[in-house]
Amino acid sequence: MLVLWIGASAFIIYITHWVYHWRNPRCNGKLPPGSMGFPFLGETLQFFKSNTTNDVPPFVKERMERYGPVFKTSIVGQPAILSADTDLNHFVFLQEGQLFQSWYPDTFTEIFGRQNLSSLHGFMYKYLKNMVLSLFGPESLKKMLPEVERTACRRLQQWSIQETVELKEATAAMIFDLTAKKLISYDEENATQKLRENFVAFIKGLISFPLNIPGAAYHKCLQGRKNAMKMLKNLLKERRAMPRKSPSDFFDFVLEELQKEGTILTEKIALDLMFVLLFASFETTSLALTFAVKFLSDNTSVLKKLREEHETILRNRENTDSGLTWKEYKSMTYTFQFINETVRLANIAPVIFRKALREIQFKGYTIPAGWAVMVCPPAVHLNPTKYKDPLTFNPSRWEGVEINGATKNFMAFGGGMRFCVGADFSKVQMAVFLHCLVTKYKWEPIKGGNILRTPGLQFPDGFHISLMEIN
């Protein structure tokens, strides 16, 4: 009996000691304030708790009020520092590859692939980034502009003869089809297997609680990835069996790289790259476009000003039947202000992950080596000291502000050397779609439009509109 009592006491002391050290991690200096939550689980449940606000996520806002703009936490078993501090955010992006590196929780890398673009570093990352810029860089986009316009005009015309259209789904399909054609010559209408269906399943569980059991959103997400990757592998096999005489899409370019002597590109990296590009190119942009049209529906003065800019472009053309030129695209001053304001308030990326490569001192606090750093764009974009009335949709606040990359107060497309390689492509897609929409159509919201953040942005009921041509 005494032995049992001693054993039980020792176990309780051990557990108490372990829990204490979990909640009070060792550090050579002073950790930021905050809570590590429960052992293993940390504050994961609170982080993934859904909300319907356009404001700073409750998880972050409550802790900012309690601890300040920099605090410690633990998400999916990883100790982390969450930063709403503009100086720390800027420092993290500036020191990419030196003091910090891109990092995502194991659940994310399981979804996107362990050889995906976000998980690679150094020369390999730069090599892949240059490959992607060959498709999405400015010179390629100039050539792609007419096709983007034709696609937008054709889809809008199709939607206008329907009773209603669910905008999020419709724009996602439009962008996916165009991008898949450029990447892998994929034709959704004539394909025997529907590639995008797998991405729809993938998206539903992308930013959800990482519970990998049948029926859970995360499990469905993994299944969607598995099916999509299988299709891409089969396509790669077909291309290798019947190579084309001259490259016609990005996949051909990738195949050429794979066949070069001494190449550093592997089949695994190539397939993960194609998967990420297919996903990133359409999901975030369709969310932003849906958010944009919702704002236009609620702000008639903004719609009037946007329409005036695009009608002026049409009036100034020598040939009224010609399509958009790159010069006209670059002249869309108010449109770019509108896009900036849309993505500032949409906050599609709730956090940007990095990891400290070694112990770092910052403003009296210590960030231990190996800890994650979670940069929080919403806390920056909705800071009232930087943006007057931050929850008000006001594109004119960007008047006279030139933004070609990220700044301390604007990081909708990331920052530093990992600034989103598809940012220009997204802006082209949005600007051209808006041009076609406001010059030729009017619309009426029918239902939906409410948002849900889990913590990523969703439209759980879609955004249904009735689209009509302007006479």
Taking Cα atoms as reference points, which of 291, 313, 284 lies closest to residue 436?
A: 313
Give the separation between CA 236 and CA 128, rounded to whole angstroms. Answer: 18
Q: Give the SS3 label for residue 375.
A: strand
Report residue 282 as tokens.
Answer: 């359409």
User: Greatest CA span in the chain, whole angstroms?
Assistant: 98
Q: In 3-state terms, what secondary structure has residue 49?
A: coil
CA distance 90 to 84: 11
**The two structure tokens encoding residue 406:** 């990220």
> Distance between CA 303 and CA 306 in Å, rounded?
5
Pair of tokens at residue 358: 């070694």
Q: Cα–Cα distance between 264 and 161 in angstroms, integer?
A: 50
Residue type, 118: S
Centre a 10 Å sphere on the Cβ of residue 262 and count the other Cβ atoms it contains: 4
Residue 235 burial (10 A CB sphere; 0-12, 13-18, 19+): middle
Helix (H) or strand (E) segment spanning residue 141: helix 138-160
**Token code pair at residue 123:** 């020369």
Return the DSSP state at 395: G
Cβ-based burial of 419 (10 A; exposed 0-12, middle 13-18, buried ≥19): middle
Q: What is the DSSP letter of 31?
A: P
Q: Tell me whether residue 420 is annotated as binding.
A: yes
What span, in angstroms and rounded, lies between the C-alpha atoms of 321 and 319? 5
Comparing CA positions, the residue from 343, 344, 342 lying closest to residue 387 is 344
Annotated binding-site positions: 420
Binding residues for heme: 420
